[in-house]
């Protein structure tokens, strides 16, 4: 009998792997914004057409890429961010898997324009279905522009799974807001369908929270700040009377990475106990910085779930830090609140 196993060609392997990383336009938004942050950009512009179905473009003024790297970045497992297994436990960058651009190029049409400050000319590359269509020198500003066009043009089954424009746009705005919140020192803008949705000048975290989450939080944020040898917690919670009936403005960032954690959410909610009605949700934007060796961000490709080496300690610190911040409100529990 003949042997029956064969190795899949790269473009098919990439397309399968892409399913993990790029589920919808918002996944590409997250990956491209993170790349711009990792490139040290101080200005990042996001341009969306058709809720990202026809265009997701990110323009940054970061360090750019050489001609060779501009081609290499689309290879699978191609990354400048880690070199060995040890680095995996000291990650300070948002990315490290070297999969995002390979995935995007496998399921969309991509145009990359990039230039380093020291180079005379930049590089333009057009790639689709993991195949380079064009590569040429080009006049370009310092930094990188990546345009992802017609997501899933070659995977109709996945394209059909995309939700309405309103729903996909909501996901995009969520990703944009998370990254904008975690890097208040970077200018961000978001343009959708030719209209400016966000224009966020760089400033303090407090200013960024108000810019992103709404003017009504102005003068209604309470500072959280607690530092130990093990970790540093900082950020803001809303005054108890800003608690809303809907969940929403609640953010944890671990080493600047947005994460979801029902466990840590519980720590915050318990600190608010007695100060807000049982069925309401306070704002929080809390940053937890600790030794990267104390967290495993490798558990999920989209990296929203992480594992702490010692979850209980983090819980206790979060709860204590928020309680401490709210101490001024605990004498007279708030009975009235805005909707």
Judged by CB under 5 A, does residue 103 bind Mg ion? no
The alpha carbon of residue 199 and the mean position of all alpha carbons in its chain are separated, in whole angstroms, by: 17
Find, among 250, 319, 234, 246, the residue nearest to 283 by Cα: 250
Judged by CB under 6 A, does residue 37 bind ligand ADP? no
In this chain, which residue has its C-beta nearest to ligand ADP? 95
- In the complex, least distance from residue 223 CB atom to ligand ADP, rounded to whole angstroms: 33
Rank residues 95 and 122 by Cβ distance to ligand ADP and give the closer one. Answer: 95
**3-state DSSP assignment of residue 71:** helix
Count how many residues are written for the chain. 339
- In the complex, least distance from residue 4 CB atom to ligand ADP, rounded to whole angstroms: 33
Rank residues 36 and 222 by Cβ distance to Mg ion and give the closer one. Answer: 36
Judged by CB under 6 A, does residue 100 bind ligand ADP? yes
Rank residues 57 and 211 by Cβ distance to ligand ADP and give the closer one. Answer: 57
Per-residue binder mask for ligand ADP (CB under 6 A), 290-319, x = binder: ------------------------------
Per-residue binder mask for ligand ADP (CB under 6 A), 135-164, x = binder: ---------x--------------------
Query: CA-to-CA distance for 45 and 278, rounded, in angstroms?
Result: 40
CB neighbours of 74 closer than 8 A, spacing ≥ 6? Answer: 101, 102, 105, 110, 125, 127, 130, 132
Torsions phi, psi of 217, nearest 5? -85, -10
Judged by CB under 5 A, does residue 100 bind Mg ion? yes
Query: CA-to-CA distance for 2 and 157, rounded, in angstroms?
Result: 33
In this chain, which residue has its C-beta nearest to Mg ion? 95
Between the alpha carbon of residue 101 and those of residues 15, 77, 151, 178, the distances in Å are 12, 10, 13, 21
Match 């399913």 to its residue by tokens.
Answer: 19
What is the DSSP secondary structure assignment for residue 266, as one 8-state letter?
A: H
The alpha carbon of residue 291 and the mean position of all alpha carbons in its chain are separated, in whole angstroms, by: 20
Judged by CB under 6 A, does residue 324 bind ligand ADP? no
What is the DSSP secondary structure assignment for residue 299, as one 8-state letter?
A: S
Residue 152's binding partner among ligand ADP, Mg ion, none (Cβ under 5 to 8 angstroms by kind) is none
- Give the chain's largest Cα–Cα span: 82
Judged by CB under 6 A, does residue 175 bind ligand ADP? no
Per-residue binder mask for Mg ion (CB under 5 A), 9-48, x = binder: --------------------------x-------------
Rank residues 57 and 242 by Cβ distance to ligand ADP and give the closer one. Answer: 57
The answer to whether 201 and 187 are in contact (CB under 8 A) is yes
- In the complex, least distance from residue 75 CB atom to ligand ADP, rounded to whole angstroms: 8
Between the alpha carbon of residue 238 and those of residues 139, 242, 272, the distances in Å are 47, 6, 10
Residues between 41 and 80 with contacts to ligand ADP, criterion CB under 6 A:
60, 62-65, 73, 78-80
The answer to whether 11 and 129 are in contact (CB under 8 A) is yes
Rank residues 96 and 315 by Cβ distance to Mg ion and give the closer one. Answer: 96
Judged by CB under 6 A, does residue 101 bind ligand ADP? yes
Among 30, 53, 97, 208, binds ligand ADP (CB under 6 A): 97
Judging by DSSP bridges, how do beta strands 143-149 and 55-60 pair with one another? antiparallel
| Interacting residues with ligand ADP (CB under 6 A) | 31, 35-36, 39, 60, 62-65, 73, 78-81, 95-102, 144
| Interacting residues with Mg ion (CB under 5 A) | 35, 95, 100
């Amino acid at each position: 009998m003949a042997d029956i196993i064969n190795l899949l060609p790269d473009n098919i392997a990439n397309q399968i792997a892409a399913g993990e990383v790029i589920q919808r336009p918002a996944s590409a938004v997250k990956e491209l914004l993170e790349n711009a942050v990792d490139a040290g950009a101080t200005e990042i512009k996001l341009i969306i057409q058709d809720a990202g179905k026809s265009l997701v473009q990110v323009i940054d003024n970061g360090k750019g890429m050489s001609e060779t790297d501009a081609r290499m970045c689309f290879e699978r497992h191609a990354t400048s961010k880690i070199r060995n297994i040890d680095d995996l436990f000291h990650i300070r960058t948002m990315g490290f898997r070297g999969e995002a651009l390979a995935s995007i190029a496998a399921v969309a049409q991509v145009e990359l324009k990039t230039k380093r400050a020291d180079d005379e000319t930049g590089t333009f590359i057009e790639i689709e279905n993991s195949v380079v269509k064009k590569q040429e020198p080009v006049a370009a500003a310092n930094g990188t522009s990546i345009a992802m066009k017609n997501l899933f043009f070659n995977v109709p089954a996945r394209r059909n799974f995309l939700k309405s424009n309103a729903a996909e746009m909501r996901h995009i705005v969520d990703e944009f807001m998370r990254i904008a919140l975690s890097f208040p020192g970077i200018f961000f803008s978001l343009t959708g369908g030719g209209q400016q949705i966000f224009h966020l000048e760089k400033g303090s975290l407090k200013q960024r929270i108000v810019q992103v989450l709404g003017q009504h939080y102005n003068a209604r944020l309470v500072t959280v700040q607690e530092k130990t040898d093990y970790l540093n917690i900082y950020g803001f919670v809303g005054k108890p009377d800003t608690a809303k009936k809907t969940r929403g403005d609640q953010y944890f960032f671990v080493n600047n990475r947005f994460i979801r954690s029902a466990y840590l959410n519980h720590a915050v909610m318990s600190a608010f106990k007695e100060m807000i009605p049982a069925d309401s949700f306070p704002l929080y934007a809390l940053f937890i910085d600790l030794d990267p060796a104390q967290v495993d961000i490798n558990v999920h490709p989209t990296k929203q779930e992480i594992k702490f080496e010692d979850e209980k300690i983090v819980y206790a610190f979060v709860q204590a830090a928020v309680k401490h911040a709210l101490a001024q409100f605990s004498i007279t529990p708030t009975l009235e609140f805005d909707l």
